[in-house]
C-alpha cells in the first residue's frame, strides 16, 4: 500500500471511531491492529453489495444511484471500507437458486455486469484483480483489489461451457451450492440426494481446477465437502463459514473437515453472520428458517419469498452475537486446522443483523485487536488477514497451468457422466 493511502486510511479509521475521553489513550491492541492492516492485505471472502444494488428499494440495479461515495443503507461504502483498512474483496455475484424460471444464466450475467460496473465506477478506490499478482499490484496502488465469486453452481445450468464463460468474465471462485441441492451436488439444506458430488459434480471440480477457479464449499453438505477435498488438486476455500463445533448449524464446517485442510491447503474464511457464530442466536433462528423453507417450498417469486420471510421473523426476539464469539471461531479453526488455514469472510450486505462490535466494514481492526489481546502473533494475523487465501489462489493458478498443459477443456455433460448411479461413497 502506498504511504499516502496508508496515512489516509489510518486517519479515516481514527475519525470514524468513537471519540475517546480527554486524556485517555487508544487501546494499544487497536493501534497495533491498524498498523498491521495498513501494511498487510486484508481480504474478505464474501460481500453482497451487487445483490444489495439489485434489490435496492429506491433504484433497483442502478449502480450510479447506489453511490458508494455516500453513506449507503447497508454495511459497505468507500468511507467505511477505508476505515476498515480493507485491501481486497471477493464481491459475491449471488443469484438465488430457488427460482429457475427467472433464468439463472441471465441473472448471473447481470450480477457479473453489476459487479464490474461497480469496480469501474470507483477507480480511485477499487481495482479489478484476476490473479494473486493482480491483488498485490492493486493493493500497492492503494486500492481495494476486487475479485468476483459466484454463489451457487446452479448458475452454470449443468454446463461446463458456461463455467468457462464465467471464468473468462473474471469470476475467481464458485460456491458449489447455495441453499438448493443441484443435479450434481448436495447443499447443506435438506436431505442429501447424492451423498455429495455426482460424477458430473466431480468433473465440475476438475474443470474449476483446470481454470484456476477456487472451489468454494460454503453452503455445501459434509458429503460434498468430503468429495471436493478428495477430487480437488488445488486448495479449496470456504468463502463465508464458521466452526460447527462452536455453533452447530449445517452452514458451518465440522472438525473432521477442518482436520483435512492442511493436506489440501484450503482456507475457511470465517463469517460474521450471528446465526452461524452464536448458538444462542441459532437456537432462535433455526426453527424460523425451517418454517420459512416449508412455506416457500413451492414459491418461486423472490419478492413473495421475502414477504414470507419478513412475516415469519416479525416479533422474534433474537439474542445479540458478539465480536468475541467471532474471534472464538477463528481461534477454534486455527487450533484444529492450523494458522495457515483460516481467513475472513464477513458476508456484509447479505444479512440484516450483525454481532456487537462488527456492525459494518469499518470494524475489521476491532476484530484483529481482539485477537492481539488473545496473544496472536503478527505473522499469524498477516496470514489470517489475506496471506492464507492469497497462497490458496496462487496454488490454484499453479495447478491450472499444469492442468491446461496436460488436458483440453472438458466437454463432458451431465447426461453422459450421470447416466449410471454414482458409486457408493467411502
Q: Which of 48, 207, 227, 380 is catalytic?
A: 48
CA distance 338 to 328: 14
Alpha-carbon torsion, ordered 107, 112, 117, 122, to 10 deg: 130
3-state DSSP assignment of residue 125: coil
Closest listed residue to residue 330, CA positions, set 367, 283, 363: 367
Q: Helix %, strand %, coil % for the chain, to 5? A: 50, 10, 40
How far is the first Cα of the chain from the last one, in angstroms, to the nearest whole number? 47
How far CA 85 is from CA of 35, 80, 298, 333, in Å, comes to 10, 9, 43, 23
Active site residue 219: yes
How many whole angstroms from its chain centre is CA 78?
19
Distance of CA 211 to the CA centre of its chain: 19
- Of the candidates 44, 77, 151, 216, the residue annotated as catalytic is 151
Which of these is catalytic: 154, 167, 194, 240? 240
Cell numbers 492481539: residue: 372
26 is catalytic: no
Catalytic-labelled residue, pool 154, 219, 329, 332: 219
The yes-or-no answer on residue 151 being catalytic is: yes
Q: Which long-range contacts (CB under 8 A, 24 or more apart) does 125-133 make?
A: 125/68, 125/78, 125/81, 125/82, 128/170, 129/88, 130/170, 130/172, 131/393, 131/397, 132/390, 132/393, 132/394, 132/397
Catalytic annotation present for 167: no
Task: Out of 154, 167, 178, 332, pick the active-site residue.
Answer: 178
Give me the catalytic one of 77, 98, 328, 347.
347
Query: Of residues 46, 154, 194, 341, which has the active-site annotation?
Result: 46
Q: Let me know if 360 is a catalytic residue.
A: no
Q: Which residues are catalytic?
A: 46, 48, 151, 178, 219, 240, 347
Amino acid at each position: 500500500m502506498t504511504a499516502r493511502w496508508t496515512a489516509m486510511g489510518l486517519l479515516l479509521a481514527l475519525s470514524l471511531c468513537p471519540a475517546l475521553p480527554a486524556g485517555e489513550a487508544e487501546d494499544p491492541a487497536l493501534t497495533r491492529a491498524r498498523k498491521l492492516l495498513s501494511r498487510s492485505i486484508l481480504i474478505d471472502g464474501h460481500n453482497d453489495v451487487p445483490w444489495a444494488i439489485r434489490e435496492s428499494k429506491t433504484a433497483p440495479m442502478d449502480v450510479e444511484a447506489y453511490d458508494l461515495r455516500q453513506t449507503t443503507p447497508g454495511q459497505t461504502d468507500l468511507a467505511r471500507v477505508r476505515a476498515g483498512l480493507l485491501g481486497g474483496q471477493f464481491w459475491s455475484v449471488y443469484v438465488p437458486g430457488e427460482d429457475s424460471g427467472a433464468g439463472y444464466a441471465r441473472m448471473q450475467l447481470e450480477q457479473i455486469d453489476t459487479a464490474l460496473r461497480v469496480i469501474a465506477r470507483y477507480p480511485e478506490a477499487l481495482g479489478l484483480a484476476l490473479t494473486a499478482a493482480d491483488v498485490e499490484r492493486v493493493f500497492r496502488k492503494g486500492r481495494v483489489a476486487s475479485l468476483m465469486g459466484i454463489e451457487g453452481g446452479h448458475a452454470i445450468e449443468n454446463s461446463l461451457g458456461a463455467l468457462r464463460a464465467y471464468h473468462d468474465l473474471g469470476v475467481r471462485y464458485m460456491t458449489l451450492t447455495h441453499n438448493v441441492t443441484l443435479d450434481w451436488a448436495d447443499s447443506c439444506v435438506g436431505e442429501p440426494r447424492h451423498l455429495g458430488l455426482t460424477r458430473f459434480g466431480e468433473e465440475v471440480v476438475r474443470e474449476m481446477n483446470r481454470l484456476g477457479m477456487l472451489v468454494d464449499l460454503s453452503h455445501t453438505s459434509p458429503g460434498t465437502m468430503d468429495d471436493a477435498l478428495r477430487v480437488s488438486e488445488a486448495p479449496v476455500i470456504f468463502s463465508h463459514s464458521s466452526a460447527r463445533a462452536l455453533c452447530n448449524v449445517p452452514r458451518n464446517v465440522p472438525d473432521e473437515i477442518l482436520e483435512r485442510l492442511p493436506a489440501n491447503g484450503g482456507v475457511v474464511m470465517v463469517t460474521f453472520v450471528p446465526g452461524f457464530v452464536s448458538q444462542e442466536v441459532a437456537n432462535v433462528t433455526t426453527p424460523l428458517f425451517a418454517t420459512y423453507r416449508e412455506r416457500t417450498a413451492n414459491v418461486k417469486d423472490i419478492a413473495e419469498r421475502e414477504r414470507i420471510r419478513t412475516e415469519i421473523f416479525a416479533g422474534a426476539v433474537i439474542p445479540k452475537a458478539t465480536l468475541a464469539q467471532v474471534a472464538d471461531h477463528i481461534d477454534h479453526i486455527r487450533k484444529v486446522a492450523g494458522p495457515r488455514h483460516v481467513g475472513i469472510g464477513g458476508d456484509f450486505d447479505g444479512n440484516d443483523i450483525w454481532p456487537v462490535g462488527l456492525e459494518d466494514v469499518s470494524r475489521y481492526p476491532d476484530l484483529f485487536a481482539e485477537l492481539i489481546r488473545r496473544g496472536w502473533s503478527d505473522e499469524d494475523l498477516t496470514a489470517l488477514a489475506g496471506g492464507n487465501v492469497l497462497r490458496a489462489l496462487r496454488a490454484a493458478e499453479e495447478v491450472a497451468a499444469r492442468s491446461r498443459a496436460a488436458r483440453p477443456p472438458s466437454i463432458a455433460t451431465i447426461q453422459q457422466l450421470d447416466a449410471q448411479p454414482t458409486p457408493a461413497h467411502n
